[in-house]
Structure 1
Amino acid sequence: MEPDAISTLYREYSGYPTPISAFVTANDYMALLNGTSFTLSTEWSQSETVRGARLHYAQQWTLIQNYSKETDIDIQPPSPCSLLHGELLSSYSPSGDLKAVVRETSGQGAGHQFLEVWSSGGLKKLLHLTALDKHGRVYEDAQFGCLAWSACESRVLYVAEGKRSIAESSASASSPSAGEPTAGPSGGPSEKDKSVYWEDWGEGLTSKSVPVLCVADVAKGTVTVLQGVPSHVSPGQGLWAHDGECVFFVGWWHEPFRLGLRFCSNRRSALFCLDLEGNCECLSGDTSSVSSPRLSPDGRYLVYLEGQVFGPHSQCLSLQQYDLETRKISVLVDVVNRPKKDEFAGLYEALPPRCWASDSQRVVFSSARRNWRDLFVVDRTTRRVTRMSDSENFGSWKLLTIQNDLMVVHCSHLNEAPRLVVAFLPSAGGEGEVSWDPLDESCLRGAIVNVLDISPTPQEENPEYSGLDFGALLVTSNHLPSGAKVPLVVFVHGGPHSQFFAEWNVTTAVLVKLGFAVLMGKMVDFLLGSHPHTLVSTDIILFLSLCFVVNYRGSTGFGQDSILSLAGNIGSQDVKDVQRAVLTALADQTAEKLLTLDPDKVVVMGGSHGGFLACHLIGQYPDFYKACAVRNPVINAATLLGTSDIVDWRYSCVGLQYSYDQLPTPEALTTMLQKSPITYAPQIKAPVLLMLGGKDRRVSPHQGLELYRCLKSRGSPVRLLWFAEDGHSLARVDTQADCFLNVVLWFQQHLHLH
């Protein structure tokens, strides 16, 4: 296909919107004689490639519950969508009567931030945060950020960058910490300290250094920066206690220095309680990693996630419960080491902002289970975990909210674009029989999905963690003529401890529509950031279409043993698993034997650790792969050691212990080098396309440059795309479109498909 046709198709499929938040309000009036009315307010994200923008819009539904049959929901037509301009954060008050918005202006006065409070009568309050000058920029990220209303709806809690003088005045020592400047007469850094280095929290959080908790008083129009946060932690994820007299927050240790936080659930942190007088108490243990504190509706229980410090940067987590009356901590959901097939496989992702049932006895959450993201509920009394999702009909599930026991879930499939489904949570004991109602029609594209379970050969077994298998999803078009040979794109994931769910993926959807067969490995934010997307079949078939998704050993959703099995075995176990999946696909074809994958037309693509694996594959199997495209790949773990924001992982991934005072040894550097694809570079024959972000803090772009120079010196075909203003995920809309077009053209060229 011509570049314009490819871009047009990509523009169409990348335009499918994704729901990002939901809020339910129970209306005070009777909707019908036998029903109650609810308003569902949602916010969505949509890529718009013409202007290179990511749009943010709102949409509302009216839902009516039938009293005569609790599970019946009458869904009224939705309101028209309305574009949201400049909103960084938004949050409804508990009653739903008020909405707080943190907005940033553009144009004249660009960069000014405001806190707005809206009611049914229009704008109720406006606080010019920039002019008040109590703090720096408000944090809008998911790691630290929050916008939490007090129960009395008079105050709003949020997190912002602290002013340097504020950060220094809260230090426990009488003098600033080493490396931190002293305040000058004006309250800012003194003249001699203007160039002193200030640490940040790494990739995706480069503007975050010293977070502070802030309270806006809606009635008074004032902002207060809360004092009393321990000087050795950075606060975030704040929420109010039920009585409004104190706040809870997560504090991350930033001493002796900050390590990257994004995608890392293994950072030392604890749960704290801070009253408005500045008295602070640590509620949890201080030797673990905690996140996602959520308060029960009755105000008595806090649940939060807990994991280990260091080791795998993403891991199976436990769900802890803190009883505010007895001050005791108990385990609601423990770490799952080796799940049985089709059973709950553990907790791997953040809890949604609202996850409690109205009875304060049950918690609803989403988590990975093999190749899917499923919906679960745990009973606080029995500790029993029940799955409530319907994977066959709706694909993968992500809970957006549960309020008034109405659950709102984002669903998508490998053959279905994102949509919302709703249901009321049944009474305790009946959670296995939930009646789900979609808010709109599914967008199916005629693909067939087959689930495969793959086991390593005896030679590929991990002796310390034997008996582990991994999963795969084979997706084919239901319009395939028989007899033709199909080229195969092996799509390898990054992470490595994440997962490629059976859900919507734009990159794969367009590749299949273009006619490539795709063998997909688990992926973390490759090409399209970390947004979920999917596959679609084509009506006019160029080279036929197939997709195969592989979650190799080390992926989330298969238990903690699977995650731990990869430590010390990168570059071998994960490479062998991907190659085993490819060989399985080539041997099995489809169940109907309608098509044959062409073993002479196999290419590979991946990003981050996926790029690491892709380069290993073309180096270890030089005659097998005909082309390669990688985004910000790890090429040489030894040279990456001093440039990555997650230096601890550079030790853990090769099986070594890490400590803050760690110094590299010749033995450690040798181990890192031996496990890196750079050692196989002289064997590479496949033409390589490199896509690098100039501002990547996780994997330095000099990693890709190292491979580029190595291949250039040997006369191997290589092309490099440099995106100076992009980071690790290459997440800008125009960058994603540029990358996709170049990948397709690269594969067409070197598979001779013109």
Structure 2
Amino acid sequence: MSVLNYTGPSDTYRELAELPLPTSAAFTSPQSDVIHVTYSIRDHERNIKRSVAKTYFVVDGGRSVVPPTHHEASDIVGFAISPSKTRQAILREASDQNGSGKKRFVEIWSGTRLEALHDVTKTHGAFHTDDVLSSLSFSPSESALLYTAEANVDAPEGPDADPYPKFRYVPHFGEAAYSKKRPAIFLFRWRSPNESSDFSSSKTKSLTALSPALPAPASVIFAQAVFASEDRVFATGYDYTDDGRLLGIKGCFNRPSGIWELTLPPQLDVDTSDLCASSPCTSLKLTSSGRSCRSPRILRDANGSPTKLLWLSSATGGPHASSVSLHSRNLSPELSEAKLLIDTVWDPAADAFPGLYTEYNLPSRSFLHLSGSAYVVAQSLWKSRTTVLLIDVTTGSVRDVTPAISEDTLYSWNVLCTDGGRQVVCSRSTPTTPSEIVLGRFDERGNVKWKVLDKPTLSPDAERALGELEVSIIPIPNRPSVETIVIQPKRTTEESTPKPLCVTTPHGGPHATSTTAFSPATIALALEGYTLSLPNYTGSMGFGEKYVQKLLGQCGTLDLADCVATVNHLIELGISEPGRQLIQGGSHGGYLAAHLIGQYPDMFNAAVLRNPVVSIGELPCVSDIPDWCYAEFALPFTPRTLMTPEIYQTLYDASPIAHVDNVRTPVLLCLGEDDHRVPPVQGLRYYHALKGRGRVVDVLSFPKECHPIEGVEAARVCWEAGRDWFKAAEKS
């Protein structure tokens, strides 16, 4: 097999990758008959990700939908609907006239009228609209807005000024968030709460950065702020560690954080068009240490008064992601003690609720009211699917409203929003069905009927090709938490020789899950004629907390054995055959792939590794999640932990680099040059180790790409390179 050779672009990959991906939704009229949905679209021609919004008009009591209108929304980075659904807040970043930079604006719209506009370009840095830091909340009077943005460096200017504040080290939030060092909650008021909504005066417009008072020696960054009343706000506070770190937080649900109550200062009656005042406010932490608490949500009664505060939490330390707990506190007439609504499920019975495995947050609008009771609607992993759960906010009872039955067996669901009444908007997909937008309407007993509002448009060739694939979820014998999603051409169910090459693709994490959601890269590879196997090994989420915890101390052995058992079981079933096996994976999936080709050198014909972990003992010095290297291998980690020769030896023995001499499989490496989680030096060390031993190896290095390598061009080239590497293996 030669080094990597390009065989040309793939029209199939490009078409599938450019399908719109729903990212958010909102009901935008008081009658809940107008739905605004935002999509992300990969534009290969311009090498950018575009944002497009569609507006759906539901008529005839929900029986029909007017064809949607759509418009470009790429300069809108944040969007929120007011409690009355009569106003919209927009955070906008637009290129300035000469194209040399960005200008930032906060806009408040009342219907089609621009009620307030504020240029915040000089006031602060970029808006923060990610899951971890985003705030976008109207006050009950709809006269103020909370949002999160990067505070400017507070450094004096001039030749004789103190230069140290400008260059002083400030921790950041890690992988894909290393520009986020000084997040702050900003309060924008465009009128007084008692003013008429038809009047907006620049004399009452103000922008202030909240500065919560903290007990010494606490050091906290506040975000995820939501209004409960005009002067009462609840927010998430992220703690620095004792050694001054902000541990990398992307994909990590175990970082020390708490839910805080903030009391706002009186309104400032000044116009701060260019400068931003700092507003001290009182603060009270409501949650105890030892938990990673986040995603505060306010439940209101029919009059709009706040009645409950709900939030999610996970244990700190240990696995970076695991089962999530749901908590509540009554807000009326006064703050009550916290109540645990959903606890960890340790070892669920077959097909029973496995515990809550949500996204990082609850949906921004997540409540329904049925028969006088209130419910949270959330998506959660349930084995190899994501499903929609209806959770009673009083009792904590859970019901799956999208169970794996009949034609819905393979759908994975995402909750986008509710209308606060009986309606919910979701997206859903299967491995062969791209994302659809569906509207769910609940009756008083909690039964739901789903209506598809929109489906993506596929070319006839793509639609026909997807129809020729077969998908199944196959349990692995004698491994109760292990199953694999298999995607294969339907013709392989008949006797054929030889069988298609089988690509095993273990997920990263390790505490993540491969689901039945549509993946353009996965399906495009299947349409090249390969069988795909996506194993959920021990440690995957959605199977019970027992199996998450079971992997700790057995990384590189138990998960490896699960992957080998998966390969062997598919051979036993006649789905694949020996000598026709391929392996690919990224991050921990790359770690497993590198282990497999080192410990089973005759099993795989070729391997593609994306930002793999290959030498664990070297990772704590350079990764944004140094604790991962200790927790996953059952080693203690504290802010005082240092690498010792004994610890290094333990981690070296658990690393793929320890087996590099055995590797005979041709290896392609794809590395992101800005990866802060598994820096490219890991992959490069593996490349040089293989090259020095005369093995077949090649490497692609992608500038400005982080851990996932998800830029438009980079993702395409990475996919094409894997396809070409596997093609060469088939010919050799």
Matches of 1:185 and 1:418, distance apart in 2: 51
How many angstroms apart in 2 are the aligned matches of 1:566 and 1:78? 49
Label 1:440 to 1:140 Cα distance change in 2 as closer, same or farther (>3 A).
closer
1:686 to 658, 661, 665: 665
Q: Give the structure 1 partner of residue 200 of structure 2.
A: none
The question of 1:409 aligning with 2:426 is answered: yes
Distance verdict in 2 for CA 1:189–1:117, change over 3 Å = farther
For 1:370 and 1:652, the matched residues in 2 are separated by 23
What residue identity is the alignment partner of 1:260? Answer: G
Aligned to 2:55: 60
Aligned to 2:196: none
The equivalent residue for 1:424 is 441
Pairs within 5 Å for 1:642-661 = 642-661=621-640
1:344 equivalent to 2:360? Answer no
Give the length in aligned residue pairs.
671
Post-superposition offset of 1:146? 1.8
Aligned ranges 1:83-232 → 2 under 5 Å? 83-107=72-96, 108=98, 110-131=101-122, 133=123, 135-165=124-154, 184=156, 190-219=162-191, 220-230=204-214, 232=219
- Superposition pairs for residues 590-739 of structure 1, below 5 Å? 590=575, 597-739=576-718
Question: In structure 1, what is the equivalent of residue 399 of structure 2?
Answer: 386
2:248 matched residue in structure 1: 260
After TM superposition, the structure 1 stretch with the greater mean CA deviation from structure 2, 672-681 or 358-367, is 358-367
1:330 aligns with 2:342: no
C-alpha deviation, 1:188, in angstroms: 12
Q: Secondary structure at the match of 2:121?
A: helix
Partner SS for 1:648: helix
Give the alignment of 1:494-533 within 5 angstroms.
494-520=508-534
Task: Say whether the 8 Å CA contact 2:503–2:582 is kept in structure 1.
Answer: yes
Query: Contact 1:553–1:562 at 8 Å: present in 2 too?
Result: yes
- 1:354 corresponds to: 365
Counterpart amino acid of 1:470?
A: V
The one of 365, 374, 377 aligned to 2:387: 374
Instruction: Provide the secondary structure at the position in 2 that maps to 1:81.
Output: strand
Offset, 1:637: 0.2
Relative to 1, partners in 2 of residues 1:212 and 1:360: Cα closer, same or farther, differing over 3 Å? Answer: farther
Matched residue type, 2:486:
L
Q: Which residue of 2 aligns with 1:566?
A: 551
1:43 corresponds to which of 27, 38, 46: 38
Cα 1:746–1:471, aligned 2, differ >3 Å: closer, same or farther?
same
SS of equivalent residue, structure 1 residue 579: helix
Distance change >3 Å, CA 41–CA 565, structure 1 → 2 = same
Alpha carbons 2:487, 2:526 under 8 Å: kept? no
Shift, 1:286, TM fit: 2.7
Q: Which residue of 2 aligns with 1:289?
A: 292
Instruction: State the alpha-carbon separation in 2 of the partners of residues 255 and 560 from structure 1.
Output: 26
Equivalent residue number for residue 451 of structure 1: 473
Q: What's the offset of the Cα at 1:737?
A: 0.4
Which position in structure 2 is the counterpart of 1:523?
none
Instruction: Provide the secondary structure at the position in 1 that maps to 2:564.
Output: helix
Shift of residue 715, structure 1, vs aligned partner: 0.6
Over the matched positions of the two proteins, sequence identity in percent amounts to 29
Question: In the alignment, does 2:538 pair up with 1:553?
Answer: yes
Match of 1:250 among 216, 236, 252: 236
CA distance in 2, matches of 1:4, 1:411: 34
Q: Distance in 1 between matches of 2:477 and 2:313?
A: 30
* 1:237-280 alpha-carbon deviations (Å, 9 max, x no partner): 11001x22121100010143211111111011110011113111
Match of 2:278 in 1: none
* 1:471 matches 2:483: yes
Aligned with residue 307 of structure 2, among 294, 300, 310: 300
Query: Is the contact made by 1:164 and 1:188 (CA closer than 8 Å) also made in structure 2?
Result: no
User: After superposition, what is the alpha-carbon deviation per residue over 1:16-66, rounded to whole angstroms, capped at 9, x for unaligned?
Assistant: 1111111114445xxxxxxxx611111111112222111110111112364
Partner SS for 1:493: coil
The alpha carbon displacement at 1:118 in A equals: 2.3
- Kept in 2, the 8 Å contact 1:229–1:235? The answer is no
Match of 2:506 in 1: 492
Is the Cα–Cα contact under 8 Å of residues 368 and 556 in structure 1 kept in the other structure? yes
SS at match of 2:595: helix
Secondary structure of the 1:366 match is strand
Aligned AA (1:22): A
Q: Is the 8 A contact 1:406 1:424 kept in 2?
A: yes
Displacement, 1:123?
2.8
Indicate the RMSD between aligned Cα atoms, in angstroms: 2.1
Distance 1:698 1:189 in 2: 36
Cα shift readout 1:674-725 (whole Å, capped 9, x = no counterpart): 1000001000001110111111100011000110110011010110101121
Q: Decide whether the 8 Å contact of 1:113 with 1:129 is kept in 2.
A: yes
Taking structure 1 as the reference length, what is the TM-score of the superposition? 0.86
Deviation at 1:448, TM superposition (A): 2.8
Alignment partners' CA distance in 2, 1:268 and 1:187: 41
Q: Does residue 275 of structure 1 match 2:275? A: no
CA distance in structure 1 between the aligned counterparts of 2:654 and 2:262, rounded to whole angstroms: 46
Structure 1 residue 421: Cα displacement: 1.3
Work out whether 1:582 is the aligned partner of 2:567: yes
Shift of 1:295: 0.7
Counterpart AA for 2:429 = S
Name the CA distance, whole Å, in 2 between partners of 1:255 and 1:190. Answer: 28
3-state SS in 2 of match to 1:641:
helix
SS in 2 for 1:157: strand
Aligned in 2, Cα 1:5/1:102: closer, same or farther, shift over 3 Å? same
**1:233 aligns to what?**
220
Q: Distance in 2 between matches of 1:726 and 1:635?
A: 19
Q: In the TM superposition, what is the alpha-carbon distance from 1:469 to its structure 2 partner?
A: 2.6
- Aligned-partner SS, 1:340: coil
**Which deviations, in whole Å up to 9, do the C-alpha atoms of 1:585-623 show, x marking residues without a partner?**
111135xxxxxx242121110000000000001001001
Letter in 2 for 1:512: A
Check the 8 A contact 2:430/2:517 in 1, yes or no.
yes
Contact 1:364–1:378 under 8 Å retained in 2: yes
Structure 2: gaps spanning 5 or more residues: 192-203, 266-280
1:661 Cα deviation (Å)?
1.0
Residues 713 and 734 of structure 1: CA distance in aligned 2, closer, same or farther (over 3 Å): same
Matching residue's letter, 2:481: D
Please state how far the C-alpha of 1:746 moved relative to its aligned partner.
0.7
Instruction: Give 2:392's aligned amino acid.
Output: D
Q: Would the alpha carbon gap of residues 328 and 74 (structure 1) be closer, same or farther in structure 2, given more than 3 Å must change? A: same
- Distance in structure 1 (CA, Å) of the matches to 2:159 and 2:628: 38
1:489–1:156 distance in 2 versus 1, CA, 3 Å: same
Query: Which residue of the partner structure matches residue 322 of structure 2?
Result: 315
Residue type of the alignment partner of 1:400? L
The answer for unaligned runs of 5 or more in structure 1 is 29-36, 67-72, 166-182, 458-467, 521-549, 591-596
Aligned equivalents of 2:80, 2:373: Cα separation in 1: 22
Distance 1:722 1:655 in 2: 33
Structure-2 change in CA distance of 1:423 and 1:193 (3 Å): closer
